[in-house]
Structure 1
Amino acid sequence: MQLKWTDIYDIAVALEEQYPDVDVLHVRFTDLWKWVQNLPNFADDPNRSNEKILEAIQMAWLEERA
């Protein structure tokens, strides 16, 4: 399955698997933006991201951890 920026929850699960020890609330959006693009199944235009999407990914990642 190819991930796109709109696949918020799938991205959050993948990030949790890739970075289980990261303090989710202290991740910079610039780092999060890079990490999402480096996920193995990610295939979307980097310019389609914005702060709202990154924040949604961060919150979904936090929920995934709970």
Structure 2
Amino acid sequence: MQWTDVLDIAIELYEAHPDVDPKGVRFTDLRQWVMDLPEFEGDADRCGEKVLEAIQQAWIDEAE
């Protein structure tokens, strides 16, 4: 997975952190959790706030 795989990342985060409310996750934690996903191969330097916002929103949508 890369940073552009927003929906796949959101699904993986939802499964990895089922008890977490994605609305309250700080971007620093979100970025680290994404990079810690087993299938994630993205470059940490390629991540920006807009990407994290998109991932967080997709995770919120997945959780609802």
Aligned residues: 64
Match of 2:49 in 1: 51
Q: TM-score, normalised by structure 1?
A: 0.95
Q: CA deviation at 1:57?
A: 0.2
Q: Which runs of 5+ in 2 are unaligned?
A: none
Residue identity (%): 55
Residues of 2 paired with 1:37 and 1:24: CA distance?
Answer: 16
Q: Which amino acid aligns with 2:2?
A: K
The two structures, once aligned, show a CA RMSD in angstroms of 0.4
Deviation of 1:30 (Å): 0.1
Partner of 2:10: 12
CA distance in 2, matches of 1:21, 1:47: 28
**Paired AA for residue 24 in structure 2:** H
Scaled by the length of structure 2, the TM-score of the pair is 0.98
Q: Which runs of 4+ in 1 moved over 3 A?
A: none
Shift of 1:10: 0.1
